[in-house]
Structure 1
Amino acid sequence: MISAANQQEYYQELLDKKSEYEGVFYVGVKTTGVFCRPTCPARKPKIENCEFYETAEEALLASFRPCKRCRPLSHPNQVSDLVRLLVDAVEDNPEKRWTNQDFQKLSVDASTARRQFKKRFGMTFVEYARARRMGLALKQIREGDAVIDAQLSTGYESSSGFRDAFSRI
């Protein structure tokens, strides 16, 4: 958990677009549902609409999606076409459960996807997709939806599988 003092510091660095804070924190914007890097060129939100995270995975689990302007899941000015393709595929259908056949349809080797995501983000592609799905489920539960509705709408067919994924987080 990020302290209140760090939140104030991070907010000021967000306003100043300090590049030395790249990779130190990410900001989730409650009003838009996106998370950004500190140097994002988008208009800056009010502090009460910001949530700060140390990792992209934490932001995903909090139900935020990656910003399309600053692309927080890529290194500045450098992201492979494969990573961009896979992130876009997840955003097109975040409830999807990925199988080897899905990788074949995209002409992508699953082990290459796993390696590239692990190298860039510290998590595999499947972990990224799962975190995105679970973030959506957690958002629905926070908004008052029934747990079973959140489970089914995010592609978890078995309640025990959902419970296991939820408890791991």
Structure 2
Amino acid sequence: MRIGLYPGTFDPVTEGHIDIIRRACSLVDRLVIGVAINRDKGPLFSLEERVEMIKAECVPLGKEHGTEVVVHPFENLLIDCARDVNATVIIRGLRAVADFEYEFQMVGMNRAMDHSIETVFLMADAKNQAIASKLVKEISRLGGDVAKFVPPSVKAALDEKRK
């Protein structure tokens, strides 16, 4: 069984994340979406809220593609999380050159810790390249319309947080 791990904070999950998840489903038999706890980032949504949003949006995608999608919170090293879920591949989305520079360093460090786990990069679709969770939260906080960037249920959750 090919098991992939797609990690992130997903605060909140965006159309960009969902695009990567949809395409990753065609590469693996089981896709584990690793939700990083990462207290340093001060997430808007609790871990439980992020997990539920991802489950609601992404488990059905897996069913469409015949891929099991599992949501797995983690707080340890990414490479240790990959080992914990028996992933042989880490899936990362790239939007721009700046993403590549950071990811290039991460791959090097991860390979030094465990050379048996590969990293696969999926380029963001052109329509999603500008989407970043941080910007989505800011647009929402300032009363802007984020409907193009997140699923309706996530937009509703953002609107509720803004109240």
- TM-score bracket, normalised by the shorter chain, equals under 0.3
Structure with larger RCO (C-alpha < 8 A, sep 6+): 2
Which structure features the higher share of strand residues? 2
Which structure features the higher share of helix residues? 1
TM-score (norm 2): 0.26
TM-score (norm 1): 0.26
